[in-house]
Structure 1
C-alpha cells in the first residue's frame, strides 16, 4: 500500500517519556519498509529517530526481535541497507548514509521538549515505477497510484482486478471484451478494440518483469498486492518498445522473513438479472529459521456469474467467467546487502461465451447459433537481484520468462450460410525471455543518475481455422519473433531544493523476423524488419511551494513492426513500426493536512504516426493495417479530500480529443467522468459503502456488434470480508 510520513523529505519523529537510550528492553519490530520500521523502533524505545534520506520507503528490512539497547537494535535494523544510525544526544538518533556520517562529526543538540509537536510538511509518497525512487510531489509526469483494496495486505477489497479499477479511473480504459481478452489504454492512446499481432499500447509489469510483449492484458488478479503504479504517456526511455500509452506496474507484497502470517478473504456478488459470483483468496507467509529467508504463497478462485442470455438456446448468463491461479515467491537476504527473489505465477481464465450482445436481441441478449468460448493460460517465472552499497549505490538485475497460450472461438454461420453452424478458431502462443540490469544513485541535491541495459527475445505464433465443427480447415497464420537490445540512461540535476531538470535517452536495436504458416505460397512480405532508434526525454520539476509542484515533460515511444494477416484473410502483409511523441505539463498539490484537498491537473498533446491497428473486415475476419496519423489532446484532473477521519471524497476527470488523418479520414471524441465517495466505518470487518457516477461519450459510427461494459450493465451488489492471523511452525 502507499505509505506516507510527516516531516522534511522524510523525517520520522517518535515522542515518548524520558526513557534512556541505553536501557535494555524487548523489541518486536516486524518486517516492513524502512520508514515504517524506524517509527516502530522509536516508539518502542521511547527515543526520537530522524532522517532526511529520500528512499527509505523503498528499502525493505527484516525487522528486529529480542532484548537489547536501542543502539544495537537500530544497527540490526539498518544492516545491509547502506545506512547507519548516529547518536545526537541521550534520546535522539539520526539515520543517514555511512559516507555522510563519516564526514559529519557528532554534535550535541538540545533535547526536544515532551510537549513539542512535529511541523507538518509535504507527504512523502514514493513512485518506484520510474526505476529509481522519486517523490510523487517532485515526479515530473502524470502518474496514478492505486491500492487494490481496502486492506493493508491487498487481499480482497473492492479492486481485485483491472476491470474494477477502470470503472473508477478515467485515465485508464479497456475494451470490455471479457477477462483475458481486454486491451488496456491510458490517456486515450488507443489503436483499436480487437486483438491481433500488434504490440500493446500499454506495458504491464509484475514487479520488475514484464507480463507480456504483445496481445491483450492477461488480467492478473490483484490479490496480495501492495499498490499499482500507472505512469501516463509514452515511457520509451525507461521501458522501450510498446509503452506508447504508458506502463502499469503491479507491486506485490514482499516476503516477510521474520514472521509467519496467513490472510484469507471472501467476496460474493449478485447481479440483477444475472448469476451469483465469488472471489476467494488466501495469502500464506512462512519465515524460515535465522530470519534471512522466507516463502510467500497466494491462491485464488473467482467466478463472475454473467448476465447475458441467449434466446435461441434458452441458456442464461452465458458470459460467465472463471479465473483461478496462484503465486509462489522465495526471498533470501544476506548480511552483505544482497536481496534475492525467485518467483513464479500461474493463472487460467475460462469464459463460457462472448461478452457482447447484438442490438436485435435487446440489451442483454445474443442471437448466435453456438457458444463462443475463450480460454487463456498465463505463467511467469522471475529472478530479481538487489544490492545496495554503503555509498547509496544500488544495483538491480531482473530476469523473466513469460508463456501465454490462448484460444477463441467465434460463430461464423451467417458468413458461411447454410443450416449447420460454422465457426472461426483463433490460437495464440506467446513466449518471451527478458533481462534487465540497471545501476543508479539518488540524491536530494546534486546529480542523481541511472544507467542500464536490456535484452528481449519474444516469439508469437498465431494460427487459425475456419469451418464446421469436426471439419475445420487451417487458414493462413503468422509467426513473429522479435529480438532487441537496448542501452538507457537518465540523469536528474537538482540545481536547488526547488528546481530540478531530468534528461535521458534509450538507444534500441530491434529486429522482427516473420514467416507465414500453413504452407502459404509466394506473397509479398518482408522477412526481417530492423529498427534502430533513440527515444529521448526531457523534464522539469519546480517546487512552487512546500506542498505544490509544477512539471513539464517531453517523451517519445514506439512499437515494432511485423507480419500479420492482410485484409481478405488469404494473404499476409508487413506492418511497419509506429512512433509517438508527447508534450505534457501539470500541477500537483499534496498538503500534509488531510483536511485540505489534494489536487492534480495535467494537459498533454501527442503526435502519433503510422498507427498500427487490428481490425475486422466486411467478412468478419481480423486483419492488421496501418491506418494513418493522429493528434491527441487531453486534459485530466483529480481531487481527494478527507474532511473528517471517517470520510474520503475523491473525483477524477479525463477529456481527450483525437483526430486521425491519412488512410482513415475520421475524427473521434471521447470523454469520461467518474466521481467517487467512500465512507470508512469503524467496524471489525472493514465495512464499506460506495457510490459511483460515470459518463462516456464515444464515436457515433454504426457497428454490427454492441460491446457492453459491466459498468453500464445491470446493478451489481457485492460484499467482502477478510481475516488475518499469525501462525507458528513451532511444535
Structure 2
C-alpha cells in the first residue's frame, strides 16, 4: 500500500476516533470541593478536559478553597488556585502547568508561550507528555524561548556549545548537498533531530519564535526510534494561541571582523479568529551574513595563486523563511494543529579557507578556480490532532518533509591528481596489455607522468528528499499512580540524487604515447571521456515501530518505568549511470538492492524522591542504528584488486546490519534555597557493539562494515542559581572518555582510538544581572550578561592524522541591554576575543590526499570571527 494512503488512513482513523469521544469534557459547570490541592487539580482536569501538569510533591499538603459554579476554564482555575501560592502557565494544545508563584512566568491568561519557566521549571515533552524538566528522571539539557533570546541564539551553533557531552561539526546555514550539522552526543554519532512532532535530518534552521529546545542524552529508541542511538535534539516552535492577539518584530545589525555588515529581521503575528476556538500564527524572517573569506583563483595544479584576481568576502549566506500555525478547538476535547514551515538557505560560496593561502595573503582565503554555491529549500507540513477520550488522550501526527538542494563543487584539483595517478600507472598498464597479447612485445610508454595538467572542472549535485511520517499514540491521564503511553510509528523517506561533473580535456591529458614495435608511436587513452560522473541515485528507507512506556508509583517516593520498541527497517537503493565517465568507463547499471533489519529496544528506569526537592534515578536502555548496504557497482575498476582482498567482486552488495548500544545511567536532580538553586548531575557508561565503521580503499572510495566494539563513560553537571535579586548564574560541564576496544586492522577504527567529535572536557558558564531603572523610565530594566564556552580537543574522523585534529576552543560572548514591557534593545559582542577555532574539516579529498598537491594544507571552516552588533525588538 502506498505510504500516502497509509498516512491518510491513519489520520482519518484518528479523526473518527476523536469524533466518537463522548462530549462529557464540554461541561462548563464546575464542582470542585475544598481540601487537597492535588485532588482538586485532578478534578479540574477531568471537568475541564484540559491536561494539567504539576509536581505531586509540590502540591502535597497544600489546600484550596475549591471552586463551584459555571465559568470558563481559565476563570475556574484562577479561583481554584487563589491563595494557594501557585499560578498557572499556558502550555501546548491547551494544557496548563502549575508552578509556584515565586518562580515567576506568565499566568494562564498570559499568552507569551516563549516565557517558558526557568531552571527545573521548564516544561518539556521528552517522554511525549508535558512535564517539568525537574520531574523527568533522565539527563536533558533544555533552553526555554527566553533562554534563547538571552543568549542571542540564531541557529544550532549558538546553543550547541552550551550542552554537556555534545560534539558537532557545522557547515553553516547552507551545507553542501543539504548536509546539516553532524551531531554526536556522548561520543555517539547517531543523533535524532525533531521539529515539534516531526523527525527530520539535522538542519541548521533559523531560531525564530521558538518555545524551547530540548537535548535528550543517551539512547532514545524506545519512544523515538532510529537515528537516536546517541540522543535527540528537539526544537519546539510556538503554535497559535487562541486566547490573545500578539505581535512582535525584531531587527539586528552587526559587523564581522574580516567581513562587512550583517542584518537579520523577523516578525510574528498571532491572531485569534474565534476567541478560544480558532487562531492563526505567522512568522517571517530574513537574514544576510556577509562573507569573511576571500577566493584566490589557482593558476596551476601545484597551488599557484593568482593574487591579482582575489575576490573578497565570497562566503555570503542568505536565509529567508515563513512559518504558519493554525490551531482549531472545535470542542473542548479536540485540538487540531496545522503547521507549515519553509526555509530557503543560500550560500554564494562554501565557507572554508586554505591554511596555506592565509599564510601567503594574511587573510582567510580559499584556493579554487570557481565558486561553489549552495541552495537548500526545506519545507515541512504537519497535522497534529489531540483528543480527550475520557480515560486517555489520543494524539495523531502526520507530517511531510521535503528538501531540495543544489550545490556546485570544484573538481579541478581532484582531476589534476587523478590524471597524474593514471599516467603514473602507464608502464604497468602497458605491461599487462602486452602479457594479454593486446600489444606487441617490447611496447613501452614514452610519455612522462602528467602531473601538471590543469583544467577547471566541477560537478553539481541535485538532491530531492521526501519524508512521510505518521505516528499515533494513546496516553493515560496524569494524576494517577500509573502513567502510560503506547503508539505506532511509520516513516518513509525517498531520496533522489543527480550527480553530473566534467573536467575539460582530461581524456586528452590522460592519453599515453606508446612505442609499439612494428607499429610505431600510437596514442593510448586511459579515459573514455571528460565526464567525472553522470549518475542517478535513488534510495528509500522505511521504518515501522510499535512502542510503549509505563510508569508506576509504588509509593510517593519510588517510581518504576519500563518501556520498549519493536522496530523493523528496510533500506533500498539503485544506481543508474546515465553515461560512461572517468570512474565508470563501461556503464553497468545494477538492479535495485535492499536490506531489512528488525529488533527490540527496551528501557528500564527507577527513580526515588526522598523529599519534594530531590530526585535520584538509575536507567538502563538499548539503542540501535539502522543498517544499510554498499553497492560496489559504483566503484572504479581500479578498486577491483583491493576488493578481492576482502572477498568482494566489483558489483557485489555489501550488507550492513544495525549496530547496538547498551547504556547505563544514574543521576540526581535537586533544588535548594527555596528553588533558587537547581542542580542536575548524571554519570553514564555505554557499551557499543557491531560498530558501523569505514574501510577506506586507496582507490579513493570506501564501504561500511560491522566490525569492532567500543565503550565510553563520563559525567555531566548543570547548575543554575539565583543567589540574589536579579542575579542569575549558570554552569554546565562534562567529562567524556571514549575508547575502541576491538577493531579490524583494515578499518579506520583502531584499538585504543578515541571517538571522533568527542572532546574529553567541556564547560559552559554564564552570568546575568538585571536591575531596575525606575529613575529613567517606569517599568524599565537593564541587564548585563556574559557567556563562556570551552571544548577540549578532539578529531573530525577516526584517522587521528594531523589533518584530522579539531583543536580546543574558548569562546566568550557579552551582551548588555534595556528592557521594558513593550520593547528591548541590546548591544552584543559574539566571539569577543576572536577565537579562530575549527567547525569542520574539508582537508581530505576523495582519495585521502591533502589538496592542493604539494602543499601542507588544511581546508577548514572557521568559527565566525568577532561580531559586534545591536538588536532591537518590539512586542504587543
TM-score, reference length from structure 1: 0.78
Relative contact order, higher structure (CA 8 A, sep 6+): 1
* Aligned equivalent of 2:142: 145
Correspondence 1:310 to 2:295? yes
Q: Do the aligned residues in 1 keep the contact of 2:54 with 2:131 (CA within 8 Å)?
A: no
Paired residues for 1:265-414 under 5 Å: 265-312=250-297, 313-362=309-358, 364-391=364-391, 393-414=392-413
* Aligned equivalent of 1:724: 875
Q: Do the aligned residues in 2 keep the contact of 1:478 with 1:565 (CA within 8 Å)?
A: no
- Match of 2:331, SS state, is coil
* Aligned equivalent of 2:763: 673
Give the whole-Å Cα distance in 2 for the aligned partners of 1:495 and 1:529.
44
Q: Do the aligned residues in 2 keep the contact of 1:547 with 1:591 (CA within 8 Å)?
A: yes
State the Cα deviation string for residues 253-311 of structure 1 (Å, max 9, x = none). Answer: 12122322211011222212222212211111121135410111110012222322234
Q: 2:723 aligns with which of 636, 643, 655?
A: 643
* Aligned equivalent of 1:729: none
> How far is 1:604 from its partner?
1.5
State the Cα deviation string for residues 53-72 of structure 1 (Å, max 9, x = none). Answer: 9x985562699xxxxxxxxx
Give the whole-Å Cα distance in 1 for the aligned partners of 2:672 and 2:480.
22
Q: Gapped runs of 5+ residues in structure 1?
A: 64-73, 78-121, 192-200, 726-731
* Structure 2 CA distance for partners of 1:370 and 1:61, relative to 1, 3 Å: same
> How far is 1:143 from its partner?
0.6
> How far is 1:475 from its partner?
3.9
Give the whole-Å Cα distance in 1 for the aligned partners of 2:123 and 2:493.
32
State the Cα deviation string for residues 355-411 of structure 1 (Å, max 9, x = none). Answer: 3222212372222222222221110111100012454x2110000011111233322
Q: Do the aligned residues in 2 keep the contact of 1:385 with 1:396 (CA within 8 Å)?
A: yes
Correspondence 1:588 to 2:663? no
Q: Do the aligned residues in 1 keep the contact of 2:352 with 2:862 (CA within 8 Å)?
A: no
Q: 1:183 aligns with which of 168, 181, 184?
A: 181
Give the whole-Å Cα distance in 1 for the aligned partners of 2:468 and 2:617.
36
Q: Do the aligned residues in 2 keep the contact of 1:268 with 1:276 (CA within 8 Å)?
A: yes
Give the whole-Å Cα distance in 2 for the aligned partners of 1:51 and 1:680.
24
Give the whole-Å Cα distance in 1 for the aligned partners of 2:502 and 2:354.
22
* Aligned equivalent of 1:531: 597
* Structure 2 CA distance for partners of 1:549 and 1:47, relative to 1, 3 Å: closer
> How far is 1:547 from its partner?
1.4
Q: Do the aligned residues in 1 keep the contact of 2:296 with 2:369 (CA within 8 Å)?
A: no
Give the whole-Å Cα distance in 2 for the aligned partners of 1:508 and 1:295.
37
Q: Do the aligned residues in 2 keep the contact of 1:275 with 1:306 (CA within 8 Å)?
A: yes
Q: Do the aligned residues in 2 keep the contact of 1:177 with 1:707 (CA within 8 Å)?
A: no
State the Cα deviation string for residues 439-469 of structure 1 (Å, max 9, x = none). Answer: 0114455211111011111112233223238
- Match of 2:365, SS state, is coil
* Structure 2 CA distance for partners of 1:61 and 1:236, relative to 1, 3 Å: closer
TM-score, reference length from structure 2: 0.66
* Structure 2 CA distance for partners of 1:324 and 1:544, relative to 1, 3 Å: same
* Structure 2 CA distance for partners of 1:564 and 1:493, relative to 1, 3 Å: same
State the Cα deviation string for residues 12-47 of structure 1 (Å, max 9, x = none). Answer: 9999xx9x99999xx9x9xxxx8xx579935xx994
* Structure 2 CA distance for partners of 1:592 and 1:685, relative to 1, 3 Å: closer
Paired residues for 1:444-523 under 5 Å: 444-468=479-503, 472=531, 474-518=533-577
* Aligned equivalent of 2:216: 231
> How far is 1:623 from its partner?
6.3
- Match of 2:194, SS state, is strand
Moved more, 622-631 or 168-177: 622-631
* Aligned equivalent of 2:644: none
- Match of 1:486, SS state, is strand
Give the whole-Å Cα distance in 2 for the aligned partners of 1:327 and 1:284.
11
Correspondence 1:556 to 2:622? yes
Correspondence 1:689 to 2:785? yes
Give the whole-Å Cα distance in 2 for the aligned partners of 1:369 and 1:617.
28
Q: Do the aligned residues in 2 keep the contact of 1:673 with 1:695 (CA within 8 Å)?
A: yes
Q: How many residues align?
A: 634
Q: Do the aligned residues in 2 keep the contact of 1:583 with 1:605 (CA within 8 Å)?
A: yes
Q: Gapped runs of 5+ residues in structure 2?
A: 1-51, 98-106, 110-118, 298-308, 417-452, 506-529, 579-583, 637-649, 774-779, 804-842, 845-857
State the Cα deviation string for residues 581-605 of structure 1 (Å, max 9, x = none). Answer: 211111112336254x322221222
* Structure 2 CA distance for partners of 1:442 and 1:335, relative to 1, 3 Å: closer
- Match of 2:787, SS state, is strand
Give the whole-Å Cα distance in 2 for the aligned partners of 1:709 and 1:541.
43
- Match of 2:291, SS state, is coil
Give the whole-Å Cα distance in 2 for the aligned partners of 1:46 and 1:125.
20
* Structure 2 CA distance for partners of 1:390 and 1:590, relative to 1, 3 Å: farther
Give the whole-Å Cα distance in 2 for the aligned partners of 1:351 and 1:623.
30
Give the whole-Å Cα distance in 1 for the aligned partners of 2:672 and 2:499.
55
Give the whole-Å Cα distance in 1 for the aligned partners of 2:208 and 2:724.
29
State the Cα deviation string for residues 135-184 of structure 1 (Å, max 9, x = none). Answer: 4333221111112455xxx7796112111111322433321222243334
* Structure 2 CA distance for partners of 1:355 and 1:384, relative to 1, 3 Å: same
Correspondence 1:159 to 2:122? no
Q: Do the aligned residues in 2 keep the contact of 1:537 with 1:555 (CA within 8 Å)?
A: yes
Q: Do the aligned residues in 1 keep the contact of 2:247 with 2:269 (CA within 8 Å)?
A: yes
Correspondence 1:609 to 2:689? yes
Q: Do the aligned residues in 2 keep the contact of 1:404 with 1:431 (CA within 8 Å)?
A: yes
* Structure 2 CA distance for partners of 1:439 and 1:315, relative to 1, 3 Å: same
Q: Do the aligned residues in 1 keep the contact of 2:239 with 2:326 (CA within 8 Å)?
A: no
> How far is 1:613 from its partner?
5.7
Paired residues for 1:2-81 under 5 Å: 8-9=57-58, 41-42=78-79, 47-48=82-83, 57=91, 60=94
Q: Do the aligned residues in 1 keep the contact of 2:765 with 2:788 (CA within 8 Å)?
A: yes
- Match of 1:717, SS state, is strand
Q: 2:130 aligns with which of 130, 133, 141?
A: 133
Q: Do the aligned residues in 1 keep the contact of 2:667 with 2:682 (CA within 8 Å)?
A: yes
Give the whole-Å Cα distance in 2 for the aligned partners of 1:233 and 1:425.
37
Give the whole-Å Cα distance in 1 for the aligned partners of 2:633 and 2:312.
35
- Match of 1:590, SS state, is strand
* Aligned equivalent of 1:428: 463
* Structure 2 CA distance for partners of 1:14 and 1:539, relative to 1, 3 Å: closer
Give the whole-Å Cα distance in 1 for the aligned partners of 2:502 and 2:771.
57
Correspondence 1:440 to 2:536? no
Q: 1:634 aligns with which of 708, 714, 717?
A: 714
* Structure 2 CA distance for partners of 1:314 and 1:627, relative to 1, 3 Å: farther
Q: Do the aligned residues in 1 keep the contact of 2:170 with 2:182 (CA within 8 Å)?
A: no
Larger Rg computed on CA atoms: 2
Paired residues for 1:42-121 under 5 Å: 42=79, 47-48=82-83, 57=91, 60=94
- Match of 1:242, SS state, is coil
Give the whole-Å Cα distance in 1 for the aligned partners of 2:135 and 2:288.
41
